[in-house]
């Protein structure tokens, strides 16, 4: 996901008065996470090093007892019922 610009500052030099006046604090330049990620009560928004985020996500997936079926058609729409017509049955 792309980051919104609320915590990212602008094209001015990091920490400059002009940047602060136009865009507010540049949390990313200060080494902090975006405010939305820090305040997220469900901890659904993650930010930081890609390897750390991947480890957190991997742990969540394993804790929930899901593997490859976390994504995909079956997760989004459920498993097909036995009465569903297939392409072979239609012809």
Q: Is 74 among the domain residues?
A: no
Q: Is 84 among the domain residues?
A: no
The pLDDT, as a whole number, for residue 1 is: 47
The pLDDT, as a whole number, for residue 7 is: 77
Q: Is 12 among the domain residues?
A: yes
Read off the pLDDT band of 16 (50, 70, 90): confident
Where does residue 50 rank: exposed (0-12), middle (13-18), buried (19+ CB within 10 A)? exposed
Q: Is 79 among the domain residues?
A: no
Q: Is 26 among the domain residues?
A: yes
Domain interval for residue 16: 1-68
Q: Is 20 among the domain residues?
A: yes
CB 36 within 8 A of CB 56: no
Q: Is 87 among the domain residues?
A: no
pLDDT at 83 over 80: no
Q: Which residue has the higher pLDDT, 3 or 4?
A: 4
| d(C-alpha 61, C-alpha 58), whole Å | 5
Weakest-pLDDT range from 2-11, 39-48, 49-58: 2-11
Number of separate domains in the chain: 1
The residue with tokens 């400059």 is 16
Q: What is the mean pLDDT of residues 12-30?
A: 83
pLDDT at 86 over 80: no
Read off the pLDDT band of 2 (50, 70, 90): low
Tokens of 88: 């072979």
The pLDDT, as a whole number, for residue 45 is: 81
| d(C-alpha 41, C-alpha 38), whole Å | 8
Q: Is 88 among the domain residues?
A: no
The helix/strand count (H/E) of the chain reads as: 5, 0
């Amino acid at each position: 996901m792309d980051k919104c610009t609320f915590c990212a500052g602008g094209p001015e030099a990091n920490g400059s008065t002009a940047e602060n006046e136009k865009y507010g604090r540049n949390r990313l330049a200060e080494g902090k996470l975006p405010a939305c990620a820090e305040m997220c009560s469900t901890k659904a928004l993650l930010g930081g090093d890609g390897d750390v985020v991947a480890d957190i996500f991997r742990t969540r997936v394993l804790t929930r007892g899901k593997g490859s079926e976390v994504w995909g058609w079956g997760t989004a729409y459920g498993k097909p019922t036995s009465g569903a017509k297939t392409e072979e049955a239609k012809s």
